[in-house]
Amino acid sequence: MPHLAVRIIRQEHAALAAMLRCPALLDRLDDDHARGERKIRNVEHALLGFEMMGESRRMEFESAVGRFADFYLEHMALEERDPAARRKGAHT
């Protein structure tokens, strides 16, 4: 992720956490972003394996995509659960 995007995301989350007076939320969202970046790398790695090795790597790729999708939906649900997050449109 480009450095500017990371700063913007952190600023959005800092503003959201301050609004909610919940620094634990900021920590959780930052943690999610670090894990999300790793999960994206895992998907990229699995895709490369699938492209290079073919069908023998399909299941690994599909599993990586599924894990990322589950993680992302959970992260978005965390942001959406709070009305302040919906008002701010703090989607990442």
Pair 19, 84: CB distance under 8 Å: yes
* Token pair recorded at residue 29: 């969202």
50-79 pLDDT, tens digit each: 999 999 999 999 999 999 999 999 888 877
**What is the pLDDT, as a whole number, of residue 85?**
46
Is residue 92, in this structure, part of any structural domain at all?
A: no
Q: Provide the percentage of residues in the chain whose pLDDT is more than 90.
A: 41
CA–CA separation, 90 and 26 (whole Å)? 12
SS3 for 53-92 is HHHHHHHHHHHHHHHHHHHHHHHHHHHHCCHHHHHHCCCC
5-28 pLDDT, tens digit each: 556 666 666 666 565 666 777 778
**Which residues have C-beta within 8 Å of that of residue 72, sequence separation ≥ 6?**
36
Domain range for 15: 3-87
pTM strictly above 0.85: no
* Total domains, the chain: 1
Is residue 13, in this structure, part of any structural domain at all?
A: yes
25-49 pLDDT, tens digit each: 777 877 888 898 999 999 999 999 9
